[in-house]
Homo-oligomer: A and B are copies of this chain.
Amino acid sequence: MHRNVLVEEIQKKRSYLTVGLDTDPDKLPLHIKELPNAVFEFNKQIIDATRDLCIAYKINTAFYEAQGTKGWQAMEETLHYIPSTHFKIADAKRADIGNTSSYYAKAFFETLPFDAITVAPYMGEDSIRPFLEYENKWAIVLGLTSNKGASDFELQPSGNELLYQKVLRTVSSWGNKNNLMFVVGATKASELSQVREIIPDHFLLVPGVGFQGGSLSEVSKYGMNKDCGLLVNASRAIIYAGNKENFASEAREIALQYQAEMSSLM
């Protein structure tokens, strides 16, 4: 998907919500769990209930791979069900030496028609470059993640800056705002302002933002740029909002609250 189309969709829907399909077959409502193709059926209903409120879906490959071939199949089916108007993210955290990364790019950009894939930066330029060579496809590179382990390396000094800042600065020179985004789990104003100093124009994929308690407004205040520049993801908060027959309408209810707050923040 071209950047302009993504920006238009955001403006049209007044939403920068990404729904994360972290679908665990053990956590599905009982009436879905017993279906032969339970994961896809669940995702289908979540997609139908949220598609007018979000601009992207993010499929976390771990949840599908945990089911083996059957899970990979459910991922394929889900991906093909997502409307073409939506930005499709493989949250796969891949990257390897250049030759191998080119096979990952083939897997997620050709065999599976994702628009974007999350990528780990540790192995450097040739591990990321193959993902940047597809037109209208995106590498979303890990910058600062939201987990506790971010303090082990990402937040450690590297020269005059922190490692994640070096990653943002270095990786952004390998591509441009049309083929690169960054995962930034920062919700603190100070961190987001620093991120925006380094990469003012790139889209940021922001995980784990609660719509209550102010973090969405903080992220939007310090992270938004003139094209919005944010994809805010919510996974469990939406897909597991309910676990009964009405799970899809409960999911919609939460998605609606995100979208309403986003609309007011734009």
Contacts and interface: CB of A to CB of B under 8 A. Distances in A.
Nearest to A170: B152
A161 to B, nearest CB: 11
Interface string A92-107: 0111111011011011
A128 B120 CA distance: 14
Interface residues of A, number: 59
A91 B127 CA distance: 15
Number of copies: 2
A66 B67 CA distance: 18
A67 B153 contact: no
A147 to B, nearest CB: 4
A123 interface: yes
A147 B129 CA distance: 13
A153 to B, nearest CB: 6
A12 to B, nearest CB: 31
Interface string A115-150: 000001111111110000000000000100111111
A37 interface: no
B163 A150 contact: no
Contact of A153 (B103, B108, B166): B166
A214 interface: no
5 contacts: A63-B103, A66-B111, A69-B69, A124-B153, A152-B170
